[in-house]
Amino acid sequence: MALYTRIDFDDDLAETEVFQVNELREKYGNGNDPIGERKVTKIENLKSITSVIKDFNFFVAPKWKIASDRQGSGNTANIGSITDIDDLKSGNGVFSNLGEEWFDEYWMNYGTATMLKNGKTIKITNIWDFLEFKGRMDLFDEVVAKGAKRRKK
pLDDT tens, residue by residue, 53-62: 888 889 899 9
Q: Report how far residue 74's alpha carbon sits from residue 65's, in angstroms, rounded to the nearest whole number.
A: 22
The HSE-up count of residue 39 (CA atoms within 13 Å, CB side) is 9
Kindly tell me if the per-residue pLDDT of 14 is higher than 50: no
Per-residue pLDDT of 37-75, as tens digits, reads 666 666 676 666 777 888 888 989 999 999 999 998 776
The CA-atom distances, in angstroms, between 65 and each of 7, 18, 77, 104, 126 are 29, 43, 18, 11, 16
Q: Where are the domains of the chain?
A: 2-56, 61-147
Q: Report how far residue 74's alpha carbon sits from residue 87's, in angstroms, rounded to the nearest whole number.
A: 23
CB count in 10 Å sphere of residue 116: 9
Confidence at residue 54, expressed as pLDDT on a 0 to 100 scale: 87
* DSSP designation for 20: E
Q: Report how far residue 119's alpha carbon sits from residue 48's, in angstroms, rounded to the nearest whole number.
A: 64
Per-residue pLDDT of 137-150, as tens digits, reads 999 999 998 888 87
Whole-model pTM over 0.85: no
Mean pLDDT value across the chain: 82
Q: Report how far residue 118's alpha carbon sits from residue 137's, in angstroms, rounded to the nearest whole number.
A: 17
The CA-atom distances, in angstroms, between 33 and each of 15, 101, 108, 152 are 15, 61, 56, 63
Which amino acid, 135?
Answer: G
